[in-house]
Structure 1
């Protein structure tokens, strides 16, 4: 992108260099436009997260109404999660080629269509199509690679903090929707809950079209924190799919990529794949009311908002590799003790687990984004999309596997224990990334 930019005053340009020719007749805006863009992205991510919060409160109602097994329903959920991950890297490249607002608007419309059409289903394949394919592709286009793209384009300073805030948008989606959806399912049925999510995703589209700009240069600004010597990146001219595959081919030749992808697969398996999908039905198996269990999962979303933003702040100041190792180790310990905490009512040990686990829910994202930027430069957002694909592949596998474990053993205990062991492996992989970089 070639565009002549006028020098920006420091109040509008973040940490940029003040212009010696700044006019004195008009006071500059105190808030850089990048923060407004980040706010719109946050709201869009919240809207996209709505339907992704529903699997855990839909499993039992669909099982009771249609007689479908937990494994069958979990397969649709697993496909949703897998497509979410596989779509992400291509969506990131499409944003580079066609613009953020176009891709995000289309994704929200697809999510709305998928959730709305769900109310008409009466066969298993329709569940797979609507819940698995349509919502999976739509939400994948609104994945964390979207957050990485916005962060890379609009911010030079505070990237860790901003990535933490945007990452927390998905958890906030759970906070906003999950208790309401659980109450709607309990009192009005799962179809009403689907329509609420359909409307919520659709309502975000006008906001995206109106306020979400693709580049700061489009409105005559530099990214937040950029100096006067900042050179805008060239717009992508090659095919989006070709660029995405080329970025993967280059990254896949490095050990760092496989360590990040492997550890992030375990992150997905132990968070959205297992906890996000099966915590509510697992708690219900022990006699806990669905709205109560859903509220606990929503509380994780509240705490994640704090934990992920704090993780972004820490990522700006400390070694991202060591942060990842600590996060994975603590998560693994918490999952190992979870089977002993389920009961008909919420006891203090369960509340302690919720607080502990919530602060760690997706705290892994800001340091993982930072490592992708560090090692893969301008392709960092696209490479992170592929790392996110591995996250969702892990989540997809365990979402399906945990449903089978429940069908064959009658409990989820083996799934919680296995996830705890995997998290210990992820901690070791994160430390290996550190040794690899130090050796170089």
Structure 2
């Protein structure tokens, strides 16, 4: 073995640098998207808007966050990850910054719902699938887990700070902080993110020497490709089981807990900052849970993992209504730890199943599956807000989400393996 060969092996593979930049971008996107959770109470107090009205803006954000994903995946195939992610960060900066001038609820829907939803949706989990497909052959599962965990870390970094800003300097300071943070990340993405290993004269990590991962950009435009893949996948049963289960995943996480945990805790006398810290604490444990899930997805049948995750999540949500108090009691902390480990642990096995069943179209298919995740989240966000407006509490929403999670476990169990894509 020559010294040159030894030095090459010791050098850090460029795929890890790409993964690190993707981690930062995804971290920011998660923090930006989660910001409305700390704005509900301040906006309600300043403008007199109901939680149902504010939740409508959150729902538009969630829907676009999801439905943008498959088109973003196709755009990344056509124009490259670097251009798409950079433009997405600029959209977030504009949308968040403009909220400081709003005076009507439709402007909240436009800024946080449409602009921030489109921007963060372009950096959603399809970005994870695209990075891992192009840059990794070895360690795909664990890298998927690490990048997915960036979403939890975004909550951890942003929510407590934004909650403090919303209660102190005011919600406008929180919005401007998000806008500035998005702008700071743009140069980093443009400088360090690369679309393919061949762009820097290397191959994907774990690929055979000389293997070329770059594919010619599709001839059709991104929208046509995304819709073509959807039409093909929608004719198979696994797609509907994956999409249905992931819709429930979104409803029970981003839509319900991510949006309404803070105001629900505040209803029981808990300070908003304390509730934000608890939600951020979910993010800490989610990092461990998601990385472990990625590692397990390389070793265990992914659909079995999904069944376990959904059952445990459903049972924990059914217990939650009895845990709310004015203080963070030990029982609530136990829930936070348990629920945090399961928060987005569903993502690595879902990505793995899309890749196994749909091959080269797996990232775009996952984009549509993720779209269903966000539609479910949007429905849950509005439904929970209306439940609170009409019944004075969230209990029905928690119990309903728990039952749906058990249904998602059944759908996951029904997913057939690769090579068994029976038509609907």
Identify whether the pair has TM-score above 0.5, normalized to the shorter chain: yes
Aligned partner of 1:423 among 384, 390, 405 = 405
Q: Secondary structure at the match of 2:415?
A: helix
- Runs of 4+ aligned structure 1 residues displaced above 6 Å come to 435-440
User: What does 1:32-431 correspond to in 2, within 5 Å?
Assistant: 32-228=13-209, 230-238=211-219, 239-431=221-413
Q: Distance in 1 between matches of 2:257 and 2:75?
A: 31
Cα deviation per residue 1:292-340 (whole Å; 9 max; x = unaligned)? Answer: 0000000001110110001000001101000000000000000000000
Q: Secondary structure at the match of 1:356?
A: helix
Q: Secondary structure at the match of 1:433?
A: coil
TM-fit CA distance, 1:88: 0.4
TM-fit CA distance, 1:247: 0.7
Cα deviation per residue 1:261-316 (whole Å; 9 max; x = unaligned)? Answer: 00000000000000000000000000000000000000001110110001000001
Contact 1:336 1:417 in 2 (8 A): yes
Q: Distance in 1 between matches of 2:206 and 2:253?
A: 33
Q: Distance in 1 between matches of 2:398 and 2:421?
A: 36
Distance change (3 Å), C-alpha of 1:25 and 1:68 = closer
Contact 1:114 1:134 in 2 (8 A): yes
TM-fit CA distance, 1:236: 2.0
TM-fit CA distance, 1:228: 2.7
Q: Secondary structure at the match of 2:377?
A: helix
Contact 1:89 1:145 in 2 (8 A): yes
Q: Secondary structure at the match of 2:23?
A: helix
Contact 1:111 1:135 in 2 (8 A): yes
Root-mean-square deviation (Å): 1.6
Cα deviation per residue 1:99-133 (whole Å; 9 max; x = unaligned)? Answer: 10000000001001111111110011101100100
Distance change (3 Å), C-alpha of 1:156 and 1:437 = same
TM-fit CA distance, 1:170: 1.1
Which shows bigger deviation, 48-57 or 310-319?
48-57
Gap regions ≥5 residues in structure 2: none
TM-fit CA distance, 1:30: 2.4
Q: Distance in 1 between matches of 2:198 and 2:348?
A: 25
Contact 2:357 2:417 in 1 (8 A): no
TM-fit CA distance, 1:232: 2.5
Distance change (3 Å), C-alpha of 1:333 and 1:434 = farther
Which shows bigger deviation, 365-374 or 228-237?
228-237
Distance change (3 Å), C-alpha of 1:143 and 1:27 = closer
Contact 1:335 1:419 in 2 (8 A): yes
Contact 1:300 1:359 in 2 (8 A): yes
Q: Distance in 2 between matches of 1:101 and 1:232?
A: 17
Contact 2:198 2:214 in 1 (8 A): no
Q: Secondary structure at the match of 2:365?
A: helix
Which shows bigger deviation, 229-238 or 384-393?
229-238
Q: Secondary structure at the match of 2:138?
A: coil
Q: Distance in 2 between matches of 1:130 and 1:259?
A: 33
Q: Distance in 1 between matches of 2:175 and 2:421?
A: 52
Return the TM-score normalized by structure 2: 0.97
Cα deviation per residue 1:386-416 (whole Å; 9 max; x = unaligned)? Answer: 0000000000001011100000000000000
Contact 2:197 2:213 in 1 (8 A): no
Gap regions ≥5 residues in structure 1: 1-19
Return the TM-score normalized by structure 1: 0.93
Q: Distance in 1 between matches of 2:382 and 2:6?
A: 63
Contact 1:161 1:312 in 2 (8 A): yes
Distance change (3 Å), C-alpha of 1:234 and 1:290 = same
Q: Distance in 2 between matches of 1:24 and 1:145?
A: 35
Q: Distance in 2 between matches of 1:332 and 1:273?
A: 15
Which shows bigger deviation, 428-437 or 241-250?
428-437
